């Protein structure tokens, strides 16, 4: 019955038009909607990007469902008929890699950090897929498959394509153990994945928030002309636009760390914390309590 209701709702919804937003001579990105994945938005909450060169296309992330992955390819085709050479996956969270199957069906090469292999083989990956088959039906169906990388990266890799230099490098563990960033050097554009959540509450989960803060500081030092995060608008002022994510992580660690040190129970600590600086942001209700709890548990375990 749940599946039938979701199907009926989806058929009544207008199709989303994936807009390719040009940020430099060669670089475009697709902007996800604010909030959390739902049937209404078809799981379209994350960003992805592509770079057009005279020898082919490089893609960064693949969006959050197979149908979005297919429409992403169609959006690229509206810009250029050039072949899609490879997809770089920032990390293996569902909203960033569930759009891979249509790319894989085209024979596109997929790169990701080797740390993601453990996730693909985990019970957590199976549980997330089962959850998305329910919460995002019919956009994530019974035939949805988790696509591994063709090349698992261990460290930094640079390559040239069509006159542009691409630098792919680990920026974690931070948001996940396998975080990758990608710089398009000649145009000073940097894709940072979920190190930046522009205009919304980050999803912290069991992230290493201490290393995440350090990774943000590292990104700022690059001084990119354009910074594209995993959610929200592209940034032309990386230091300013990373500040909200950084400040939120610091605040979480400060408040939950103090509670853990003082052996205060989580419910009491959460209730007395002033969240007003962040409570107006999209995804606060969906993410903040879990973020706080996981941070509290991590700091209670000695992650100072």
Question: Per-residue pLDDT tens for 148-191?
Answer: 999 999 999 999 999 999 999 999 899 999 999 999 999 999 99
**Which pLDDT score is estimated for 95?**
97
Q: β-pairing, 27-30 with 20-22?
A: antiparallel
- DSSP state for residue 155 in the 8-state scheme: S
Domain boundaries, the chain: 2-239
- Partnered with residue 168 across adjacent β-strands are 157, 182
- DSSP state for residue 165 in the 8-state scheme: E
Integer Cα distance of 236 and 187 in angstroms: 13
Integer Cα distance of 102 and 107 in angstroms: 9
Integer Cα distance of 179 and 194 in angstroms: 8
Low-confidence ranges of the chain (pLDDT < 70): 1-16, 304
Integer Cα distance of 228 and 232 in angstroms: 8
Q: State the Cα angle at 120 between 116 and 126, rounded to 5°.
A: 145
**Which pLDDT score is estimated for 206?**
83
What CATH number should be reported for the domain whose range is 2-239? 3.60.15.10
Residue 77's contacts (CB-CB under 8 Å, 6 or more residues apart) are none
- Tell me the pLDDT tens digit for each residue of 225-267: 999 999 999 999 999 999 999 999 999 999 999 999 999 999 9
């Amino acid at each position: 019955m749940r599946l039938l209701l979701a199907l009926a709702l989806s058929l009544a919804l207008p199709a989303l038009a994936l807009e390719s937003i040009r940020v430099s001579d060669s670089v475009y990105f697709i902007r996800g909607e604010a909030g959390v994945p739902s049937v209404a938005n078809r799981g379209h909450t994350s960003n992805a990007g592509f770079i057009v060169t005279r020898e082919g296309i490089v893609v960064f992330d693949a969006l959050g469902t197979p149908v979005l992955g297919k429409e992403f390819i169609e959006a690229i085709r509206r810009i250029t008929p050039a072949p899609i050479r490879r997809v770089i996956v920032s990390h293996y969270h569902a909203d960033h890699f569930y759009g891979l199957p249509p790319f894989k069906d085209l024979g596109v090469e997929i790169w990701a950090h080797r740390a993601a292999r453990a996730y693909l083989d985990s019970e957590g990956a199976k549980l997330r897929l089962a959850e998305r088959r329910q919460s995002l039906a019919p956009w994530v169906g019974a035939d949805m498959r988790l696509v591994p990388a063709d090349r698992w990266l261990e460290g930094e890799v640079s390559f040239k394509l069509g006159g542009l230099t691409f630098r792919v490098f680990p920026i974690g563990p931070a948001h996940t153990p396998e975080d990758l960033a990608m710089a398009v050097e000649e145009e000073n554009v940097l894709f940072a994945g979920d190190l930046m959540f522009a205009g919304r509450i980050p999803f912290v989960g069991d992230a290493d928030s201490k290393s995440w803060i350090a990774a943000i500081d590292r990104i700022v030092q690059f001084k990119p002309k354009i910074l594209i995060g995993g959610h929200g608008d592209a940034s032309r002022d990386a230091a300013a636009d990373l500040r909200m994510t950084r400040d939120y992580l610091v605040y979480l660690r400060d408040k939950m760390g103090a509670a853990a040190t003082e052996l205060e129970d989580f419910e009491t600590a959460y209730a007395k914390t002033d969240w007003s600086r962040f409570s107006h942001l999209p995804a606060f209700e969906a993410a903040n309590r879990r973020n706080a709890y996981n941070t509290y548990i991590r700091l209670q375990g000695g992650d100072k």
